[in-house]
Structure 1
Amino acid sequence: MCTPCCISQLACCCGSAACSCCCNCCPKIKQSTGTRIMYAFYFLLVTIVCCIMMSPTVEKELRDHIPFYSELCERMNAGENCKTLVGYSAVYKVCFGMACFFLFFAFFTIRVNNSTGCRAAVHNGFWLLKFIVLVACCAGGFFIPGQETFLEVWRYIGAIGGFIFLLIQLMMLVEFAHRWNTNWNSGVKYNRLWYAALAFVTLMLFSGAVAALVFMGVFYTDPEACLLNKIFLGINGSLCFIVSLLAISPCIQKLQPTSGLLQPGVISVYVMYLTFSAFSSKPKEMVERNGVNTTVCVFPLNAGTESDKKIVTIFGTIILFGCILYSCLTSTTRRSSAALRVCRNSEPEAERARCCFCFGDDTDDCDEEKTGGGQNVVYDEREATIYTYSYFHTVFFLGSLYVMMTVTNWFHYDNHKIEKLLDGSWSVFWIKMVSCWVCLFLYMWTLFAPMVCPKRFEA
């Protein structure tokens, strides 16, 4: 019964129709949401391929279980045992193709204001053709002449782009904290339960931050070693305390009445997470005790068996790429774009307090169409786009560079394996530690910005 329905939906892959699921029992989906999900799926698919390329375990399994594996690699001109298809250089080439794919669409969709034009149709449809183009771009990276020069130059371009994406990610976190507080504060005047919810969540956030601080003080410090850990733990904890006092200070409250403890609570939790991640990414320190070299200042699981290390690595990888996808999808709305420019949204605020405020308001009036017996698609961009298409692809372009640098361990790429993603290096440690300070600085800037640039924040 599902076969005719699925066949009828194949048209959306080769044409300009909005992509929808096979079954009409699926809930309706907005065109803007479906399109972003599809691009995120492409992004995630290439990311998984990059992780596989950096995994010697997968390479060994393929070599052991695929018949005539060596002969197949030779016919593909991929070197002995497909050596050119694995390692950091292969990841650089694949990510180069993905970055070119999104960069092309960033230029192609400039000044697209609604979904009725031909360029918008290409952006919102033709999924099978775009997938073929993406695969061709990724494969084309392996045929670039002058591989050594290309890899050297592309590495520094990737580092710059990855850092810019990291800044966007941190700015979106600050915007998320302010939006959360504003949304729930809007419900206080109608229902006092929202005030209780604000107080409860704020208490939980600060409790989590303090618990993380104590946890790192116990496991990531040592009386005889780990001086950097002690210094940075004290600095980051003190900065979180300072921004919390600033948020409720009278001078800030006068200009921003909605400023409260929820925002510094969110920032503090994230800073503690980044601090923990930085400590986990630092090369291990050894101390000689009773004539035996002992590893100190490590996460208990990370010092255990190989299975424990795999659990930590998998969990950390899921969190990492979940944050990347969230940043790519949420930083492209018009409201978020205004936040990145550090100015108040020009549209009038009409907040309605909701628990899931970050997923948008489903009460918008939009045209709805039935697509060939399949899922209902809501065409919500015929009048104006919900997000900026060009900026959307630019964020994914930068995200491609960030994934490339993260999977290859930034500048410590030699002999790196995806299984050792969390084993640590000094470059990763400093990147994460600097990210803590940038995040705190961005939040403090949002507190002082109305004093410095009052005209940009006029309603």
Structure 2
Amino acid sequence: MCTPCCLSQLACCCGSAACSCCCSCCPKIKQSTGTRIMYALYFLLVTIICAIMMSPTVEQEMRNNIPFYSDLCEKLNAGENCKTLVGYSAVYKVCFGMACFFFFFFIFTLRVNNSTGCRAAIHNGFWLLKFIGLVACCAAGFFLPEEETFLEVWRYVGAVGGFIFLLIQLMLLVEFAHRWNTNWSSGVKYNRLWYAALALVTLVLFSVAVGAVAFMGLFYTHPEACLLNKIFLGINASLCLIVSLLAISPFIQKLQPTSGLLQPAVISVYVMYLTFSAFSSKPKEMVEKDGVNMTVCVFPFNSGTESDKKIVTIVGTIILFGCVLYSCLTSTTRRSSAALRVCRNSEPETERARCCFCFGDDTDDYDEEKTGSGQNVVYDEREGTIYSYAYFHFVFFLGSLYVMMTVTNWFHYDDHKIEKLLEGSWSVFWIKMASCWVCLILYMWTLIAPMVCPKRFEA
């Protein structure tokens, strides 16, 4: 029973066959989906390694629990207690290798329009060989000459790539909000329950946004300090109110009948999250009260025990890398690519309202291949590629740079630790605050674009 499945897995790792699970009870998987998941797993694996490299706790545990740790480090030429394998410079080198891996595949898959060619077969298979290649790329980063010059130049390359990836991530959020509203609105004419669902979700999201404003007004402002917090909280809340009124204004409704309150609700929640994250990332402020210096405008957990700080860091890290993976995987679909060009995606009449509208399309009439006793693979790219292979790898290339800069705290990398991912840094504060404004500007542009570029919108 296991022999056919094992052979199929060997073909997946060392040949051009699509990857699948051994378990036959797993639902069928599309070839395009399986390929993107495998690349995402590679990306996640390297990201975890980078986080470990920035953790002195892990380094200490390895030193205490691995026998002959010092001797092993000397044999590997990794310096005393493997100092060259930890810290921001090690993360830069590993991410350099991962970025080179995805950039090579970006060049390699340019102008690939179908899955029958040799380059498409390499993109969709040979996973063991590609894993070995990824490991070799990451290891080669430790043998680069002129280390100081490399780190200085690569830092600015990473900053530019990280900003571009952040911009793509914000554009995807705007596309997600429009797509959600369009999909659920398409079901209103057939079932009034979809209208109730739209109203309920919109009410919940706006309640969360208003609650976030009240929470930050309570914990992140102080009568004698935190002037920036007061100013930016007022600005961001006002901008969210403006875009909400703009979305339901008569002249916008005339051009975009599907525009409603759901989209500004999604944008407002995300802007409030970014505002909260920016306030949490700002260096702590002190005020003197009764002759005693007190820390003000901090999240309650951040001033508590070490276990509280670890919980906040873990949750923030999961949200961060979840957003990165979502951006990498969804930004390469045809629908998202069209939306990022600010043109009409699809009319409500062509949509089928679904709760899980993000996953998959309605057209599932593809050939299936039985992989022995294992999972069935749906070859959905017989006639053409479902997504752009080159653009897919380019987004992962930018994602590698974004992860590198985020894990090392952007430009404040000196003595940084992964345990301090959410602690104060002015560079992170301004990056997140600027992200709020860019997100709001992008959404406002999607609302007024039909007036500025009517021909492009009707195309």
Residue 242 of structure 1 is matched in structure 2 by: 242
**Equivalent residue, structure 2, for 1:338:** 338
8 A Cα contact 2:186 2:349, kept in partner: no
Q: Aligned with 1:358: secondary structure?
A: coil
> SS where residue 431 of structure 2 aligns?
helix
Does the aligned pair in 2 maintain the 1:181–1:262 contact within 8 Å? yes
Cα drift, residue 222 of structure 1? 0.5
Q: How far apart, in 2, do the equivalents of 1:140 and 1:342 lie?
A: 41
Corresponding residue number in structure 2 for 1:110: 110
Deviations 1:259-298 (CA, angstroms, capped at 9, x unpaired): 0000000000000000000000000011111111111000
Q: 1:229 to 1:348 in 2, by over 3 A?
A: closer
8 Å CA contact 1:115–1:381 kept in 2: the answer is yes
Q: 1:146 matched to which residue of 2? A: 146
| Residue 45 (structure 1) aligned with residue 45 (structure 2) | yes
What corresponds to 1:425 in structure 2? 425
Return the offset for 1:6. Answer: 3.6
What letter is aligned with 2:98? M
Aligned ranges for residues 306-321 of structure 1 at < 5 Å?
A: 306-321=306-321
Do the aligned partners of 2:4 and 2:371 also contact (CA within 8 Å) in 1? no
Secondary structure in structure 2 of the residue aligned to 1:327: helix
Deviation at 1:299, TM superposition (A): 0.5
Does the CA contact (< 8 Å) of 2:267 and 2:440 recur in 1? Answer: yes
CA distance in 2: counterparts of 1:7 and 1:65, whole angstroms = 38
1:17 pairs with 2:14 = no
Report deviation, 1:7: 5.4
- What whole-Å deviation, never above 9, does each CA across 1:293-348 have from its counterpart, x for those lacking one? 11100000111000000000000000000000000001110111111222234899
| Post-superposition offset of 1:94 | 0.3
State the alpha-carbon separation in 2 of the partners of residues 6 and 43 from structure 1. 25
The alpha-carbon distance between structure 1 residues 217 and 348, as it changes in their structure 2 partners (threshold 3 A), is: closer
Runs of 4+ with >3 A deviation: 1-8, 345-349
User: Is the CA contact 2:185–2:348 (under 8 Å) kept in the aligned structure 1?
Assistant: no
Partner in structure 2 of residue 95 of structure 1: 95
* Percent of paired sites with the same residue: 88
**SS of alignment partner, residue 295 of structure 1:** strand
Letter in 1 for 2:320: L
SS at match of 2:269: helix
State the 1:361 CA deviation: 2.4
Aligned residue for 1:400, secondary structure, equals helix
Alignment-derived partner of residue 350 in structure 1: 350
Rounded to whole Å, the distance in 2 between the matches of 1:8 and 1:389 is 24
Single out whichever of 47-56 and 5-14 deviates more from structure 2.
Answer: 5-14
Counterpart residue number, 1:268: 268
C-alpha RMSD of matched pairs (Å): 1.3
In 1, distance between residues paired with 2:70 and 2:239? 56
| Alignment match, 1:76 | 76
Deviations 1:416-441 (A, max 9, x none): 00000001200000000000000000
The structural deviation recorded for 1:10 is: 2.2
Per-residue CA deviation, residues 113-162 of structure 1 (Å, 9 max, x unaligned), is 12111111100000000000000000000111111000000000000000
Give TM-score scaled by structure 2 length. 0.98
Distance 1:151 1:89 in 2: 7
- The reply to whether residue 304 of structure 1 matches residue 300 of structure 2 is no
Please list every run of 5 or more consecutive structure 1 residues that lacks an aligned counterpart in the other structure: none
**Structure 2 Cα separation of the partners of residues 347 and 387 of structure 1:** 21
Against the structure 1 CA distance between its residues 127 and 348, is the aligned structure 2 distance closer, same or farther, given a 3 Å change threshold?
A: farther
Q: CA deviation at 1:183?
A: 0.4
Report the residue type matching 1:247 in the other structure.
A
